[in-house]
Amino acid sequence: MAKIKVVQYINQFFAQIGGEEMADYKPELRQGPVGPGLAFNAAFGEDAEIVATVICGDSYYNENLDEAKATVVEMVKSCGADMFIAGPAFNAGRYGVACGSICEEVKNKLGMPVLTGMYVENPGADMYKNSVYIVETKNSAAGMRDAVKKMAPLALKLARGEKIGASAEEGYFPNGIRKNFFEKERGSKRAVDMLLKKLAGKPFTTEYPMPDFDRVAPNPAVKDITKATIALVTSGGIVPKGNPDHIEASSASKYGKYDIEGVMDLTADTYETAHGGYDPVYANADADRVLPVDVLREFEKEGKIGKLFRYFYTTVGNGTSVKNAKGFAAEYAIELKNAGVDAVILTST
């Protein structure tokens, strides 16, 4: 029996071309496996092989969407493959969106089975889980072995046109399609087991997860903005030149607090962005584009606000977990409240 032919899509980082500085890398087709493709080939054994790899920079794909999709689809088509795999992207946001997008395009345009993998908090997972199969992976590339272990068997089943089981069995994100399967134990026993675990504070997995909406009730409006102290907080990664606290470009584990007392303007000589998830050129040229200190100084001078708080708080939202982000906010929210801040302007990218 002939081996199943697989084409894989990866970004510039996993192709070992470069990091953010090479994110505008144009689509390239290489014969055989590259980077993570070697692990997939080993997992496929004699059943399948990666015959070609498409490489594309994250920025190029997302900023030239129509052109990139058309180019990549033609590359995949030229390989005469049976299966298309993208990623895995783990928690890399732009990479995840690109993987989901190109899988959807290949599926729709070429009628080919497709598969990708990413972390649950990757925006691509929520965007594309209902249109393509996405295997749940760990947060970072340290989980590559686990990701390949889950993705390879499912890829083979998809390529062979075999029946795909429920998400709980196969490891992909629930996609709105319900599958019937037989459990080893009847429902009453499973329910009692879950209840006992819950009462004992032990971990358990519900069979009917409810949607979890993180709703925040808005506070009352500021009574008199002309007397209010306004603080600036950003997930856009604006930091003093040199990034003194070494805030990570992605998956931030920390935030920074910086004094802007007397600072009227964020210049290219004094401030920059540490963010690795967007083109830094314009933010580095004028960080006020992300953190509007200059405008708030004008408002302060004109009496439109009371004053600008002397510190701003900053981190990088790119790939940063919800848990970490909430932890950062819980810390500095106390400081802001104790300092008598009346309102916060939270900027993103």
Per-residue model confidence (pLDDT) at position 199: 95
Per-residue model confidence as pLDDT tens digits over 5-25: 999 999 999 999 998 889 899
CB crowding 232-256: b at 16 or more within 10 Å, else e: bbbbbbbbbeeeeeebbbbbbeebb
Contact 149, 123 (CB under 8 A): no
Amino acid at the residue 230:
I
Determine the average pLDDT of the residues in 267-271. Answer: 96
In a domain, 73, yes or no: yes
CA atoms within 13 A on the CB side of 324: 18
Asked if the structure places residue 25 within a domain, the reply is: yes
Q: What is the mean pLDDT of residues 268-275?
A: 95
Do 166 and 245 reside in the same domain of the chain? no
Per-residue pLDDT at 49: 95
The three-state secondary structure class of 233 is: strand
Name the band, by pLDDT with cuts 50, 70 and 90, for residue 175.
Answer: confident
Least confident interval from 83-92, 127-136, 161-170: 161-170
The mean pLDDT value for 110-134 works out to 92
Are 15 and 122 found together in one domain?
yes
Determine the pLDDT at residue 62: 86
Contacts of residue 199, defined as CB under 8 A and 6 or more positions apart, other chains included, come to none
DSSP state of 139: S
Domain boundary among 170, 191, 207: 170
What CATH number is associated with residue 22?
3.40.50.2000
Domain that holds residue 10: 4-170
Within a domain: residue 340? Answer: yes
How confident is residue 309, by pLDDT bands cut at 50, 70 and 90? very high
Q: Average model confidence (pLDDT) for the chain?
A: 92
For residue 127, list its beta bridge partners. Answer: none
Is residue 120 packed enough to be buried (19+ CB in 10 Å), middle (13-18) or exposed (0-12)? middle
User: Could you give the number of structural domains in the chain?
Assistant: 2
Residue 238 φ then ψ, to 5° = -70, 125
Half-sphere exposure at residue 56, Cβ-oriented, CA atoms within 13 angstroms: 32
Tokens 């931030």 — which residue? Answer: 252
The predicted pLDDT at position 180 comes to: 67
Is the pLDDT at 177 greater than 70? The verdict is no
pLDDT in tens, 47-72: 999 999 999 999 899 889 999 999 99
- 64 Cβ contact list (under 8 Å, min separation 6): none
Q: How many CA atoms lie within 13 A of 252 on its CB side?
A: 28
Task: Give the pLDDT mean for 300-327.
Answer: 91
In this structure, the answer to whether residues 19 and 136 fall within a common structural domain is yes
Question: Mean per-residue pLDDT for 90-94?
Answer: 89
Give me the pLDDT at residue 323, please: 77
